[in-house]
Copies of this chain bind each other. A is one copy, B any other.
Amino acid sequence: MSEFFNVLTPADAWGVFRQHYHPKTTAEVMATAQALDRFLAEAPVAPHDLPQFRRSTVDGYAVRARDTFGASPGLPAFLEVVGEVPMGAAAAMRLAVGQAALVHTGGMIPDDADAVVMLENTQRVDERSIEVLSAVAVGENVIQVGEDIAAGQQILPAGHRLRPQDIGGLLALGIVEVRVARPPRVAIISTGDEVIPPEQEPGPGQVRDINSYTLAALALRAGGEPVPFGIIPDDKSALEDAVHRARDICDLVVLSAGSSVSYRDMSVEVLSSLGKPGVLAHGISIRPGKPTIIAVADGKAFFGLPGNPVSAMVLFDLFVAPAIRLHLGADPFGAYKPRLRARLARQIASAAGREDHVQVRLEEREGELWAVPVFGKSNLIYTLVHADGVVRVPLDSLGLEQGSWVEVTLHQ
């Protein structure tokens, strides 16, 4: 039995995978307004300064700052108002010494002005004149040309996932189309003679397919395009055929293997026969999820995940999602994963040399956040349904004390 012939730590497994997996990001062009959550295929550069003209940040009067020097409520500066800058148009007027122009928030500043006095710090004298009650410095209440972003500056790095404000930032510069990474196609293959489609009524010994759908949703979340391959029976040539078809049309292949030894042996045989370098890890020192297979063949990535849903999800998060992000040209482990600090409600025992991933539910108790381990075998999908996140117990730890502070990575 070949089981666990090549058990690696999670870090080593990722290391050897990374060494052999060099996906090529391909780009496609799409409307920026529709590109939420897509990954930039190249770093866009500002085509012009933003703003392109000096703008007021307040409602007030554009002035020469020098004209307000020393102004106070007791000794106001007296200025002549020569006009009002219309919104959306040039500030065409000239300001001589001692002159001001009414300007609205976002409006353009006349060439001769170098500051704006807030309306609140002025007093109307008559139709044509105001008193300034407070001095302004040069540049005060003014957004300078290029202050938001300067022409030629890189806007965002390649591999960045677009957020709502990024879309705003691109459109502000007239970048109405962006080159984004094409989502890699992720084949999802479920195996097992006992597995039936969810719409069927299970007979004795049969269970409905869970992993095809959970893993497809996780692939979508990670930025991939899931491609379902259905349920393959416990038959080597059927599995081989499915894996070959998947390899031909997809970029990554995820097998949710039956969890028995015979299924695993079959998976590893099929994944070993695909090409170079082949199986890189067979067994990972992690709980749950030890019987995991990672392979690279002819530039494509293959993952044989354990069939039980908790292991499958933990391993997907640790290996498949980062591989999808690599394919998208992004930092494989994201910038900052959403996580929370909470106190551990019950002790967690672990073993040195094994990384434990414990599902937890979050509970607020007297204003403090507690992480309550969800006990349940990793075969149970409801262990995941009842969990808000996961706590990692490092490889070299013997466990975590009750009441200690832990970091919870949130399920989203």
Q: Which residues of A contact B (CB under 8 A)?
A: 32-33, 36, 50-53, 55, 57, 59, 85-91, 104-108, 119, 143, 147-149, 155-156, 163-169, 171-176, 192-196, 198-211, 213-218, 220-221, 234, 258-262, 307-309, 313, 335-336, 338-341, 362, 376-377, 379-382, 384-385, 387-388, 410-412
Q: Does A106 lie within 8 Å of B338, measured CB to CB?
A: no
**A119-B261, A204-B90, A258-B105 known; A411 and B165 CB under 8 Å?**
yes
Flag if B194 contacts A174 (CB, 8 Å). Answer: no
Identical chains bound together, number: 2
Q: A89 contacts which chain B residues (CB < 8 A)?
A: 203-205
Report which of B168, B204, B376 forms a contact with A210, defined as CB distance below 8 A: B168
The closest CB in chain B to the CB of A148 belongs to B380
Residues of B within 8 A of A164 (CB): 213-215, 217-218, 221, 313
Q: A149-B382, A174-B199, A260-B106 are in contact. Are A88 and B193 (CB under 8 A)?
A: yes
A176: min CB distance to chain B, Å: 5
> What is the bound-complex CA distance between A165 and B108, given in angstroms?
53
The reply to whether A165 and B201 contact each other, CB–CB distance below 8 Å, is no
A288 to chain B minimum Cβ distance, whole angstroms, is 11
Say yes or no: A192-B381 contact (C-beta < 8 A), given A59-B261, A234-B87.
Answer: no
Interfacial chain B residues near A155, Cβ < 8 Å: 385
B412 and A163 form a contact (CB under 8 A): yes
Determine if B338 and A171 form an interchain contact, defined as CB atoms under 8 angstroms apart: no
Shortest A89–chain B CB gap in Å is 5
**Which of B36, B107, B340 sits near A220, CB closer than 8 Å?**
B36
Separation of A280 and B407 alpha carbons in the complex (Å) = 40
- Which residues of the partner chain B approach A216 to less than 8 Å between Cβ atoms? 33
Q: Do B341 and A338 touch (CB < 8 A)?
A: no
- Given A107-B194, A165-B214, A307-B106, CB of A208 within 8 Å of CB of B174: yes
A175 to B210, CA, bound (A): 11
